[in-house]
Amino acid sequence: MITKHTDYAIRALCEMARNKQSRELFPVAELAEKLKIPRPFLRKLLQILNNKGVLKSYKGQGGGFKLGRPPQRIFVVDLIRIFQGPFKIDKCVLSKDVCPDVRTCLLRKKVVAIEKHMISELKSITIASLLSMKDKS
């Protein structure tokens, strides 16, 4: 359900969010070591997050990545979408023919409803909310 791409991204973002009082800029090398994620892999992930606007990057010596917006506004569901593609059950979950009519099929209706429920449940979770759990523990 959640791949390593998403997993690592969440971890890196949490790490940055937690230390964001003291510093804003984090080079990949440092994060990779602290979180024990393969450096080139994490780098690719952060580059993607940069392209999506979740992070902002600074090149050159002393550069690195910083959060593109406050942790309260970074939603886990968006990270899932970025790394695992959009939730898509637009078209028939089964390949035609089984179903009487795409508009009336029971199975399809259920699946779509389940997906909506899933998304709405996940929607409230942000990097900030994950972090707050961590602090309390």
Partner DNA sequence: CCTGAATGATACCACATTAGTATCATTTGT
Partner DNA sequence: ACAAATGATACTAATGTGGTATCATTCAGG
Report if residue 10 touches a copy of itself, rule: CB under 8 A.
Answer: yes
Using CB distances below 5 to 8 A depending on partner kind, what does residue 38 bind out of ligand FES, DNA, a copy of itself, none?
Answer: DNA
DSSP letters spanning 4-36: HHHHHHHHHHHHHHHTTTT-S-B-HHHHHHHHT
Contact 38, 27 (CB under 8 A): no
Cα(116)–Cα(121) distance, integer angstroms: 9
Q: Which is nearer to ligand FES, 24 or 78 (CB)?
A: 78
Residues in 24-83 that interact with ligand FES by CB under 6 A? none
Q: How far is CA 24 from the centre of its chain?
A: 20
Q: Which is nearer to DNA, 88 or 103 (CB)?
A: 88
Binding residues for DNA, per CB under 7 A?
Answer: 3-5, 8, 26-29, 38-41, 43-44, 46-47, 50-51, 57-65, 84-85
Cα(88)–Cα(75) distance, integer angstroms: 18
Contact 132, 72 (CB under 8 A): no
Using CB distances below 5 to 8 A depending on partner kind, what does residue 68 bind out of DNA, ligand FES, a copy of itself, none?
Answer: none
Report if residue 104 touches a copy of itself, rule: CB under 8 A.
Answer: yes
* Cβ-based neighbour number of residue 26 at 10 Å: 20
Binding residues for a copy of itself, per CB under 8 A?
1-2, 4, 7, 10-11, 14, 35-36, 76, 89, 93-95, 97-101, 104-107, 110-111, 113-115, 117-118, 121-122, 125, 129-130, 133-137
